Amino acid sequence: QVFEGNADSYAVRHAYLDTPIIARYIKFHTVQWHRHPSMRVEVLGCQCKYINEPVGLPPYGKITASSSRKFKKKSSCQPDDGNIFSTKGWCPKKQDENQWMQIDVGPPTLITGVISKGRGDTKRNHWVERFKISYSNDTQVWYFYKDAHHLDPKLFGGNNDKNSVRTHFLNSPFVARFIRFHPIEWKGRISMRVGLLGCPFNGKWNCSYQDYRLIDLRFFSHYFSLLPSILFSSLT
């Protein structure tokens, strides 16, 4: 999109985005100008009011998995049973590190934390002791979560019983639609209930006009008349 710029050096021109974005880096590209490219710019934005709320829950969230065990007499171990609020738990057919449980949170969401529990509907002790997470926006390209300045995927500590809740707040929050939990070590058999924390999408963005505020991006200059276009890089 090409945005209308200014016609003098003092008037302020606002351009509100039809589709708000979440980004770390914003570039302004001058396309047309008066005499010489010169401009002063600011970015308007807002912060999520509910930064560590559960996300990926129905009706917006959907849980799938690499596989799941099937029982004739009772319904258990299915992907939906892996919801953190379930009394059961997801359990795959195979017991290896290639298994995963995936949460589709709907619209790409800022993820700030992960939650895990063991399987709750059996007398046996089944839970995941260590796991990794990966994320994607298209299910084609996946990124394993890494803490800042670390090269290897982070290994999260899991649970040591069936019903205790283990919560990890992320040092490097990310924006994604699909998040996968990859069990690495487990007790008995792979089985877990999981949840995500972040900025929830409830049918609209949690920002009102009053929430818009200036973000410190200050470039001081002189007379300008331009048509800038904006390039956005995703928060990583």
Total-model pTM? 0.69
Residue 20 has pLDDT above 70, yes or no: no
Domain boundaries, the chain: 1-46+212-236, 53-198
Distance CA 119, CA 114 (A): 17
Distance CA 71, CA 138 (A): 32
pLDDT digits (tens, 9 = 90+) for 169-199: 998 888 889 999 999 999 999 999 999 999 8
Evaluate whether 193 touches 83 at the Cβ level (below 8 Å). yes
Domain covering 53-198, topology: Jelly Rolls (2.60.120)
Distance CA 201, CA 57 (A): 10
Distance CA 194, CA 206 (A): 24
pLDDT digits (tens, 9 = 90+) for 135-152: 999 999 999 999 877 899
pLDDT digits (tens, 9 = 90+) for 199-220: 865 555 555 444 444 444 333 3
Distance CA 167, CA 69 (A): 26
Residue 229 has pLDDT above 50, yes or no: no
Task: Show the tokens assigned to 144.
Answer: 């394993």
Nearest to 112 by CA among 156, 158, 176, 52: 52
